[in-house]
Amino acid sequence: MQTTLDECTESWGVRVERVEVKDVRLPVQLQRAMAAEAEAAREARAKVIAAEGEHKASKALKEAADIIHRSPIALQLRYLQTLTAIASEKNSTIVFPIPIDILNSLPFSNK
């Protein structure tokens, strides 16, 4: 741009130091292409952020599974904590599953 300006103004003895562009008109097709490119970039960033969140969540779940594996009572405590959270909600019905081996040990069970 500087070279083009210098070629035009050199014969007048004028040197242009700065040019300020106030209005740029882009064709509608170019505007749409730029908007589509920006949208694709936003979607790509959103996918990366979601993937990073999934990665962190899977690490946390693995750590929790390792802890529960080392201490079986931890699973029971977590189960009871979940039931407490469910029970604190209004109008909730809790189905409490009983392991079959407990039912078999009851005196009225058919052996």
Q: What is the pLDDT of residues 23-32, one digit of tens each?
A: 889 999 999 9
Q: What is the pLDDT of residues 62-84, one digit of tens each?
A: 998 888 888 878 888 888 888 88
- Model pTM score: 0.49
Is the pLDDT at 110 greater than 70, yes or no?
no
Alpha-helix residue ranges (DSSP H) falling in 20-71: 28-70
pLDDT, position 109 = 53
Q: Determine the pLDDT at residue 71.
A: 84
Highest mean pLDDT: which range of 13-17, 51-55, 60-64: 51-55
pLDDT confidence of residue 108: 64
More reliable by pLDDT, 97 or 69:
69
Cα 67 to the center of its chain, rounded Å: 26
The H or E element spanning position 86 is helix 72-87
